Amino acid sequence: MRFKNRVAVVTGAARGIGKAIATRLAAEGAAVVIADVDRHGAEMAAKGLEAAGGKAFAYCMDVSDPEQVTATMQSIVQLLGSIDILVNNAGIVGEEFPVHQMSDEQWHRMMDVNLHGVFYCTRAVLPTMLSKKWGRIVNIASVAGKEGVPNIADYSASKAGVIALTKCVAKEVARDGITVNCVTPGLTDDTEMARSFTPEQRASKVAKVPMARMATPEEVAAVAIFLASEEASFVTGAVYDVTGGRSDY
């Protein structure tokens, strides 16, 4: 029970990778808050964790709305006493366009959710972590933020921003018992993103992976869980690839 007496907030945990992370945290004793813009999905995911013997709470929260984020984090602290672990997982993908055809609206929406959302949530939880002198922040970025993938410049740039933000905050709070790390998965199966591909797109993406397959959400969760744990006490500002060997730099 590595996370007994810990309160964890996982954004975007109604499904996909976030749900897999929330499931592991709850199974290992954390009280887990599923904070997702999809109210029904969050409630169903929390019910599933409780049915499996975990302690879970559902909050409807849009990470791109700073006032909502602040108010939600405050009410979680009031209810549960603290926030010890924050997993910034909520994210979107947009339509594929080259930069010269991408709209302002698509670009800004991507930044609002994928990058500003991580900033708002991180800023909102740091005071409680600083007061306890303990905290774990795990950001789910993407290998796209390191490689730069054509036709998803908005997504790639937002994830590169998350990687840089991770390193900055890690240094700011390095002496306060708080670690801040980042996971950069490659394509992950059983997610909306993976389901959106045609069989041809899927085959061409898998061909880039030395292990010749996508990750599972559980494989990404395993790395996130390590970073959220006490054992990762001397790991901060780090970027962990979960790519089946795709990253060769």
Ligand X SMILES: NC(=O)c1ccc[n+]([C@@H]2O[C@H](COP(=O)([O-])OP(=O)(O)OC[C@H]3O[C@@H](n4cnc5c(N)ncnc54)[C@H](O)[C@@H]3O)[C@@H](O)[C@H]2O)c1
Site of interaction with ligand X (CB under 6 A): 11-12, 14-18, 36-38, 41, 61-64, 89-92, 113, 117, 140, 142, 185, 187-188, 191-194
* Cβ 232 to ligand X shortest distance, Å: 19
* Cβ 44 to ligand X shortest distance, Å: 11
Among residues 59, 120, 155, 240, the one annotated as catalytic is: 155
Residue type, 43: E
The two tokens of residue 193 are 């993103």
The two tokens of residue 236 are 């901060």
User: Mapping DSSP to helix (H, G, I), strand (E, B) and coil, where does residue 219 land?
Assistant: helix
Q: If residue 71 lies in a helix (H) or strand (E), which one and from where to where?
A: helix 66-80
CB nearer ligand X, residue 20 or residue 178: 20
CB nearer ligand X, residue 7 or residue 143: 143
Report the Cα 27 to chain-centroid distance in Å: 18
The answer to whether residue 155 is catalytic is yes
Q: Which of 42, 40, 56 is nearest to 13 (CA)?
A: 42
* Cβ 90 to ligand X shortest distance, Å: 4
Q: What is the 3-state secondary structure (H, E, C) of 100-166?
A: HHCCHHHHHHHHHHHHHHHHHHHHHHHHHHHHHCCEEEEEECCCHHHHCCCCCHHHHHHHHHHHHHH
CB nearer ligand X, residue 128 or residue 139: 139
The two tokens of residue 165 are 């933000």
CB nearer ligand X, residue 65 or residue 176: 65
CB nearer ligand X, residue 105 or residue 234: 105
* Cβ 84 to ligand X shortest distance, Å: 20
* Cβ 151 to ligand X shortest distance, Å: 15
**Tally of CB atoms within 10 A around 76:** 23
Alpha carbons 178 and 237: distance in angstroms, whole number: 11
Catalytic machinery residues? 155
